[in-house]
Amino acid sequence: MNKSTSILGKTLETSLSIYQKIGLITLAIGFFSTVSYLTSYNFLFGYYFGGELNNSFSNFELFRRFVPFHINTLAFTWLMITLSTSVIIYTIKVWQEKRAINKIMAAVCFVIFHVIITQFFSKDISAEIVFQFGIIWLFPLFIAIMSYFMVYGSRVIFKSLTGVLFAFVILTIGMILTPNSSHSEELIIILTYLMLFSFGSLFSRIPYKKHLNFIFVFPYITIIEILLIISVNPFREYFNEQTIIYKTMVIFIIPLIVSYFLALFVEDKFKEKITNSSSERGAVFEVVYDVVNGIRRPNTQTGMLMFVILLLLGAFVMTPRVSVATAKMIRIFTPASEYQHNSIIVKDIEGNKMIINGRIVAEHDNVIFISNEKWELEQIKTDKYFVENAID
C-alpha cells in the first residue's frame, strides 16, 4: 500500500512538474514573440513614418495609426535585429575571457558585421559613413543589456533595482543642474533607457564591500533630499536662487558623504542573498521559472514584483520607444542619395490629379500607406483613388 502510494505520489509530482514547465515555456514564448513583433513593427514605423528627429509620438499613437507591414518585411527586420543583438552579446562574452586572440577575432568579426550592416542601408561605403552608422548598434546594445539585466538582475533584486534607481538619480541631478540644455529627444530617450538597464546590470555584479556599500545607499538618500526640496516651498525657492556649485554640493556631494557613513554604520546589513538558484545560468526557461518562484515566496515577493514590473515596462514601453528612436537616427545618418521618393500621381473618379512625393510602404483593404517627403504617414483609400504613376 505504501509502495503504491509512493509511486502515485511521484507520478503526480512528475505530471505537475511537466505541466508547470509547459506553462512556463508557453509564457516565455508568448512574451518574447510579442516583444519581437513590437520591436520590428516600431523600427519600421520609426524609419518610414517617424518624421523629423525632433518629432515624437506616444506608443499609443503608433498603434492607433496601424500600418500593415508585410510579414516578410517584419520577419527580416526581426532577423537583422536578432543577429545584431547576438553579435553584441557574443562580443561582450568573448571580451570577458582572458585569451587575447579570442578578443581580437571577436573585434574583427564585429567590424566586418558592422560594415555589412552599413552596406545594407547605404550603397556607398566610406570611412565617414561607416563611422556614422555606429548609431545602429544602440538598439541591439539596449536589447543585449536588458537581456543581461533579466538574467542576472533576477538573482539579486535589491542590487539590480538600486542600480536602476542610481541611474535615475544621476539623470535627475543632471536635469536639475543643466535645465537649459538642448539635445535631440530621440537621443535622450535612447541614452536614458540604456543608462537605466546598464546600471541595473552593473550593480547586480558588484559585490558588497565595506568602502563600496555607499553606492547602494546613495540613491535612496538623494531621492529623499530631492523630494524635500521639491515639496517644501521655502527649500525650493532658496535652492533655485543658488549657484550651480552650491546646488551640486546639496544634491550630490552631501548625499554622497551621508551615504558613505550610513553604509559603514549598517555594514552588517549588507549580505549576499541570491534570490534564486538556476541550474542553467542564463537559460530563458530557468529565468522565468525563478521569477515565478520568487513571486511565490513571501520574503522575496515584493522585490520580485517590482523587478517584473520594471522588466515589463522595459519590454513593452521602453523597447518600442528605443526602436523608433534608433530607426529615425539611422535614417538621418543615411545619405540623402539613398532615398528614392517617387512622384505618386493619384486620380479621383472625376479625373482630378493629386501628386504625393514619397513612397508606397504598404497596402491593405484598398488603402495605400505612403511615406511622404517629411517622413510622415499619408493614407489614401483606393476605392476613390488609384495610383497612375510611381516614377520620378
What string of H, E and C letters represents the secondary structure of the chain? CHHHHHHHHHHHHHHHHHHHHHHHHHHHHHHHHHHHHHHHHHHHHHHHHCCCCCCCCCHHHHHHCCCCCCHHHHHHHHHHHHHHHHHHHHHHHHHCCCCHHHHHHHHHHHHHHHHHHHHHHCCCCCHHHHHHHHHHHHHHHHHHHHHHHHHHHCCCHHHHHHHHHHHHHHHHHHHHHCCCCCCCHHHHHHHHHHHHHHHHHHHHHCCCCCCCHHHHCHHHHHHHHHHHHHHCHHHHHHHHCCCHHHHHHHHHHHHHHHHHHHHHHCHHHCCCCCCCCCCCCCCHHHHHHHHHHHHHCCCCHHHHHHHHHHHHHHHHHHHHHHHHHHHHHHHHHCCHHHCCCEEEEEECCCCCEEEEEEEEEEEECCEEEEEECCCCEEEEECCCCEEEECCC
Check residue 278 and give its pLDDT: 47
Separation of alpha carbons 271 and 273, rounded Å: 6
CATH of 340-389, one of 2.30.30.520, 3.40.50.150, 2.60.40.1180, 1.10.1740.10: 2.30.30.520
Provide block-wise average pLDDT over 10 residues at a time, the chain (392 residues): 48 53 69 82 87 73 82 87 82 77 82 81 74 80 82 79 89 78 71 86 86 88 86 79 80 87 81 55 54 65 72 78 84 68 67 74 81 82 56 45
Task: Extract the C-alpha cell encoding 198.
Answer: 546598464
Separation of alpha carbons 93 and 144, rounded Å: 11
Closest by CA position to 311, among listed 281, 279, 284, 280: 284
Closest by CA position to 195, among listed 238, 149, 157: 149
Check residue 160 and give its pLDDT: 85
23 φ, ψ to 5°?
-65, -40
CB 261 within 8 A of CB 211: no
Amino acid at 289: Y
Task: Extract the C-alpha cell encoding 104.
Answer: 581580437
Check residue 281 and give its pLDDT: 45
Closest by CA position to 291, among listed 279, 307, 280: 307
Separation of alpha carbons 149 and 294, rounded Å: 16
- CATH 2.30.30.520: which residues of the chain? 340-389
Amino acid at 63: F
Check residue 1 and give its pLDDT: 47
Q: Where does residue 305 rank: exposed (0-12), middle (13-18), buried (19+ CB within 10 A)?
A: middle
Check residue 298 and give its pLDDT: 67
Check residue 265 and give its pLDDT: 85
Separation of alpha carbons 209 and 271, rounded Å: 10
Please state whether beta strands 342-347 and 386-389 pair in parallel, antiparallel, or not at all (unpaired). antiparallel
Separation of alpha carbons 378 and 363, rounded Å: 12
